[in-house]
């Protein structure tokens, strides 16, 4: 590609003294762009914390008096806007009136407008003001004489002279009980000077005086640890699957393996599914390793992320605990990367580049000679399969640390309940179980598959269902401060709950299903004596709210914790002896070939929350499809048998791990355009792979969410055995089609190894 040199803009400012990306990260960006078919620029962006990404803007100013007076017109409006606020950026002006774009271009070319570029980093280094004495001994003595009657000033000057270094101003003031008016004359005379000191924002500013000691390992833990530590020693790339039942003590193995890696002067990355949900993990790392740990996750401010990133880059820390993107931590010599709950969907990035953390980890392992540990009680089917094939070494921990038995799981057939006249959302068994726990003062976790999943609104007389005008998916019923509302969970659209049916004008509109709010209401009705904490997207949107709600439950301020899948992960409460799943079915019948796997994983994880400590645990799962194999194997907590069953299902229909899937989605506000682009792509792929029976193309079809935020979406899915054999040809076809999609005012996204 030949670039037009005249269009390249001059460099205005160099933002970093040191290049932010090390050579291995530059190489990684190259790999990302090839593997996930994104641009190099997008790949580089993914490697940097948001605060490092520079934002460019263009300021436009009138070069002089406008040479003309305009009658009312687009141009006149633009002129007026430029007069009123002369400092607007081009981007702001275009956002104000998109029609101004060509005029702006023309006026710049004619010299009526002057352009200037600005580059600003998203986050800035934070500084504080410090004071320093600028006098030598002789001058200091003279100054003391001169200040003989200003006692406080003398004190401040003497203090800073003694310190010899700069001291933060607020410390000086509080230490000596001085005020800024004392300091001011000293600064004016030049006895003191102000210096700006760089400080790091520490989101988890907890000081731990006494580091926690490692626990003596059980036999199973010891064997797992030995194998992992030995692999780290060899400095050769290697991947393990640490398959340990819930409560088998995987975390302790991680901690000690990391300690051993760090002792050898190498660095370690610990990934957790969504760190805001696992404050205990961060706490354990901080307790064990103190200040040696950086934390990276989406709930930090841009400034905090920026600082954590710099601590890693500067070598101030050797361990990072974080969500998905922490896999890009700019360490120099990585020895160990651990992915906990490796089967979780949050390890797949949902924006370009749509990378999978486990693949990135394995690539970095090759770069650094590092070890990767994939930990889970319910590994992704692919991971377990690769272990079966010998590409990954499997370590099994089949028993809980203290030998506690896995909890008994009861599956309740909800159809029978209905036949027996129980119309409540709680089966008799669950109700009885809750009553018993409440009496004994033990705690209960109730789990709902998805927030307000089925709380749709329906007219009982004509069958009308309230849907979002933009997305066409059913609206969800919400009740807040007495106000009944319908909300779209995809675009945020909201309207009032209708009193009469918009279609038949009848008054039989009702909300149906079991959202967390309805379960909460029902709990208050059936068990008025019990305190309930509800955890879902609505109650946890604030920054520290997850941790706060969990802490309240831990302190036993309430006996029941009710929540969506966010409570299925990594929580560990000694007093919980009953876990109830309100409906196992909600995740079973979604149009996704992974539905059985996800349901099995979810149920097993949830069941693992009960009886982890001294008290024995019980799990009650309610289902309208109790005979389904995902439910049955989860009931017995038999991962291996589930794996054997599911792998045959996958083999039969050419799904992962036997084929990899790449999905293309054509998106456009114009339905015909979206469809046309998808069809063109499909045709080209068919031509490209004609006669290749190892490649399957699933033709153009509406995406699972066929209309989202007012845009139409169509999918084309490609199944192949090895990406290497198709990557290059796909790239060419994809880029062409993506370009056409853009010209048509939409876009074409690609998801390599779609999950």
- Positive or negative CA dihedral for 27, 28, 31, 33? negative
Q: Is there binding between residue 611 and ligand ADP (CB under 6 A)?
A: no
- The answer to whether 261 is annotated as binding is no
Residues 528-557 that bind ligand ADP (CB under 6 A): none
Residues 393-412 that bind ligand ADP (CB under 6 A): 401
Nearer to ligand ADP among residue 82 and residue 319 (C-beta) = 319
Nearer to Zn ion among residue 79 and residue 466 (C-beta) = 466
What length does the chain have?
755
Distance CA 574, CA 570 (A): 13
CB of 271 to ligand ADP, least distance (A): 14
Q: Is there binding between residue 501 and Zn ion (CB under 5 A)?
A: yes
Distance CA 486, CA 479 (A): 9
Where is 80: in which H helix or E strand? Answer: helix 74-84
CB of 270 to ligand ADP, least distance (A): 12
Classify 449 as helix, strand or coil: coil
In the set 75, 436, 572, 638, which binds ligand ADP (CB under 6 A)? 572
Q: Is there binding between residue 462 and Zn ion (CB under 5 A)?
A: yes
Distance CA 750, CA 755 (A): 12
Distance CA 558, CA 147 (A): 63
- Residue 459 binds which entry of Zn ion, ligand ADP, none, CB below 5-8 Å type-dependent: Zn ion
Nearer to ligand ADP among residue 249 and residue 273 (C-beta) = 249
- The answer to whether 133 is annotated as binding is no
Tokens of 203: 């989101």
Residues 225-254 that bind ligand ADP (CB under 6 A): 244, 246-252
Q: How would you class 151 by CB atoms within 10 Å of its CB: exposed for 0-12, middle for 13-18, buried for 19 or more?
A: exposed
Q: Provide the H-helix boundaries in 279-401.
A: 279-289, 302-313, 357-368, 381-388
Cα 708 to Cα 350, 470, 674, 713, distances in angstroms: 15, 7, 13, 8
Nearer to ligand ADP among residue 397 and residue 454 (C-beta) = 397
Buried b (16+ CB within 10 A) or exposed e, 336-359: bbbbbbbbbebbbbeebbbbbbbb
Where is 560: in which H helix or E strand? Answer: strand 560-563
What residues contact residue 511 under an 8 Å CB cut-off, 6+ apart? 455, 456, 457, 458, 477, 497, 518
Q: How would you class 553 by CB atoms within 10 Å of its CB: exposed for 0-12, middle for 13-18, buried for 19 or more?
A: buried
Q: How would you class 408 by CB atoms within 10 Å of its CB: exposed for 0-12, middle for 13-18, buried for 19 or more?
A: middle
Instruction: Mark residues 504-533: x for contact with Zn ion by CB under 5 A, - for none.
Output: x-----------------------------
Binding segment for ligand ADP (CB under 6 A), chosen from 177-185, 213-221, 520-528, 745-753, is 213-221
Binding segment for ligand ADP (CB under 6 A), chosen from 74-82, 149-157, 180-188, 210-218, is 210-218
Whether the CB-CB separation of 30 and 24 falls below 8 Å is answered with: no
CB of 475 to ligand ADP, least distance (A): 38
CB of 440 to ligand ADP, least distance (A): 21
Cβ–Cβ contacts within 10 Å for residue 11, how many?
A: 8
Instruction: Mark residues 626-645: x for contact with ligand ADP by CB under 6 A, - for none.
Output: --------------------
CB of 59 to Zn ion, least distance (A): 56
- Residue 247 binds which entry of Zn ion, ligand ADP, none, CB below 5-8 Å type-dependent: ligand ADP
In the set 221, 318, 564, 623, which binds ligand ADP (CB under 6 A)? 221
Cβ–Cβ contacts within 10 Å for residue 496, how many?
A: 9
Where is 92: in which H helix or E strand? Answer: helix 90-96
Distance CA 384, CA 43 (A): 29
CB of 607 to Zn ion, least distance (A): 41
Instruction: Mark residues 252-281: x for contact with ligand ADP by CB under 6 A, - for none.
Output: x-----------------------------
Nearer to ligand ADP among residue 250 and residue 286 (C-beta) = 250
Nearer to Zn ion among residue 105 and residue 505 (C-beta) = 505
Tokens of 539: 């109650």
Instruction: Mark residues 440-459: x for contact with Zn ion by CB under 5 A, - for none.
Output: -------------------x
CB of 613 to ligand ADP, least distance (A): 7
Q: Under rule CB under 5 A, how many of the chain's residues touch Zn ion?
A: 6
- Residue 504 binds which entry of ligand ADP, Zn ion, none, CB below 5-8 Å type-dependent: Zn ion
CB of 642 to ligand ADP, least distance (A): 18
Q: Is there binding between residue 604 and ligand ADP (CB under 6 A)?
A: no
Tokens of 471: 């997305």
Q: Give the CB-side neighbour count of residue 92, counting CA atoms within 13 A.
A: 12
Whether the CB-CB separation of 707 and 713 falls below 8 Å is answered with: yes
- Residue 250 binds which entry of ligand ADP, Zn ion, none, CB below 5-8 Å type-dependent: ligand ADP
Q: Is there binding between residue 28 and Zn ion (CB under 5 A)?
A: no
- Residue 503 binds which entry of ligand ADP, Zn ion, none, CB below 5-8 Å type-dependent: Zn ion
- The answer to whether 488 is annotated as binding is yes
Strand order in the sheet with 494-496: 476-480, 483-487, 494-496
Nearer to Zn ion among residue 199 and residue 465 (C-beta) = 465
Distance CA 378, CA 597 (A): 9
- The answer to whether 462 is annotated as binding is yes
Distance CA 630, CA 94 (A): 53
Binding segment for ligand ADP (CB under 6 A), chosen from 76-84, 215-223, 415-423, 594-602, is 215-223
First to last CA, the chain: 34
Residues near Zn ion, by CB under 5 A: 459, 462, 464, 501, 503-504
Q: Can you say which residues are annotated as belonging to the binding site for Zn(2+)?
A: 459, 462, 468, 471, 488, 491, 501, 504
Q: Tell me which residues touch ligand ADP (CB under 6 A).
A: 215-218, 221, 244, 246-252, 401, 572
């Amino acid at each position: 590609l030949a670039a037009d040199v005249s269009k390249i803009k001059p460099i205005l400012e160099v933002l970093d003294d040191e290049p932010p990306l090390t050579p291995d990260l530059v190489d990684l960006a190259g790999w990302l762009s090839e593997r996930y078919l994104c641009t190099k620029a997008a790949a580089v962006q993914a490697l940097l914390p948001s605060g490092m990404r520079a934002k460019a803007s263009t300021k436009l100013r009138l070069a002089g008096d406008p040479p003309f007076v305009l009658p009312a017109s687009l141009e006149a409006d633009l002129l007026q806007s430029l007069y009123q606020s002369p400092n607007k950026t081009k981007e702001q002006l275009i956002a104000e009136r998109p029609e101004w774009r060509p005029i702006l271009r023309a006026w710049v070319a004619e010299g009526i407008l002057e352009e200037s570029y600005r580059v600003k980093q998203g986050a800035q280094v934070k500084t504080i003001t410090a004071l320093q004495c600028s006098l030598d001994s002789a001058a200091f003595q003279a100054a003391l004489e001169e200040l003989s009657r200003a006692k406080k000033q003398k004190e401040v000057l003497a203090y800073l002279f003694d310190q010899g270094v700069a001291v933060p101003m607020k410390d000086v003031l509080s230490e000596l009980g001085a005020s800024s008016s004392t300091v001011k004359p000293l600064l004016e005379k030049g006895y003191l000077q102000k210096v700006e000191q760089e400080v790091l924002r520490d989101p988890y500013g907890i000081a731990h005086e006494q580091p926690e000691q490692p626990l003596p390992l059980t036999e199973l833990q010891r064997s797992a640890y030995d194998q992992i530590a030995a692999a780290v020693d060899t400095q050769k790339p290697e991947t393990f699957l640490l398959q340990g039942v819930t409560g088998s003590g995987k975390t302790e193995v991680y901690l000690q393996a990391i300690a051993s890696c760090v002792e050898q002067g190498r660095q370690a990355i610990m990934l957790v599914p969504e760190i805001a949900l696992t404050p205990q993990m961060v706490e354990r790392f901080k307790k064990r390793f103190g200040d040696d740990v950086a934390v990276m996750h989406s709930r930090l401010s841009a400034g905090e992320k920026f600082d954590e990133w710099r601590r890693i880059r500067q070598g101030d820390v050797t361990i990072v605990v974080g969500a998905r993107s922490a896999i890009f931590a700019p360490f120099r010599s990585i020895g160990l990367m651990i992915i906990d709950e490796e089967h979780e969907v949050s390890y797949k990035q949902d924006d370009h580049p749509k990378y999978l953390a486990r693949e990135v980890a394995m690539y970095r392992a090759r770069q650094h000679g590092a070890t990767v540990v994939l930990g889970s009680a319910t590994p992704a089917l692919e991971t377990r399969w690769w272990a079966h094939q010998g590409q990954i070494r499997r370590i099994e921990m089949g028993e809980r640390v203290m030998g506690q038995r896995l909890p008994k799981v009861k599956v309740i057939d909800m159809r029978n309940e209905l036949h027996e006249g129980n119309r409540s959302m709680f089966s008799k068994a669950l109700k009885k179980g809750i009553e018993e726990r409440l009496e004994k003062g033990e705690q209960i976790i109730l789990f709902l598959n998805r927030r307000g999943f089925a709380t749709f609104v329906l007219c009982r007389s004509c069958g009308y269902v309230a849907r979002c005008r933009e997305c066409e998916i059913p609206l969800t019923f919400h009740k807040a401060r007495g106000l009944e509302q319908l909300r779209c969970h995809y675009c945020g659209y909201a309207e009032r709950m209708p009193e009469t049916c918009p279609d038949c004008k009848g008054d039989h509109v009702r909300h149906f299903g079991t959202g967390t709010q309805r379960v909460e209401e029902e709990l208050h009705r059936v068990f008025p004596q019990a305190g309930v904490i509800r955890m879902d997207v609505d109650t946890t949107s604030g920054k520290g709210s997850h941790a706060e709600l969990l802490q309240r439950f831990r302190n036993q301020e309430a006996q029941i914790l009710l929540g969506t899948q966010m409570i299925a992960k990594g929580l560990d409460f000694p007093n919980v002896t009953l876990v109830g799943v309100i409906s196992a079915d909600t995740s079973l019948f979604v149009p996704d070939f992974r539905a059985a796997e996800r349901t099995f994983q979810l149920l097993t994880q949830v069941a693992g929350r009960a009886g982890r400590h001294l008290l024995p645990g019980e799990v009650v799962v309610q289902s309208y499809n109790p005979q389904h194999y995902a439910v049955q194997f989860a009931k017995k907590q038999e991962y291996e048998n589930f794996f054997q069953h599911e792998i045959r299902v996958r083999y039969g229909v050419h799904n992962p791990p036997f084929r990899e899937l790449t999905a293309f989605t054509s998106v456009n506000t114009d339905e015909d355009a979206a469809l046309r682009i998808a069809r063109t792509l499909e045709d080209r792929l068919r031509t490209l792979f004609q006669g290749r029976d190892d490649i399957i193309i699933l033709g153009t079809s509406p995406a699972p969410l066929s209309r989202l935020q007012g845009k139409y979406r169509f999918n084309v899915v490609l199944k192949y055995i090895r990406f290497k054999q198709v990557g290059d040809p796909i790239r060419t076809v994809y880029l062409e089609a993506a370009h056409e999609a853009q010209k048509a005012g939409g876009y074409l996204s690609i998801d390599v190894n779609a999950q």
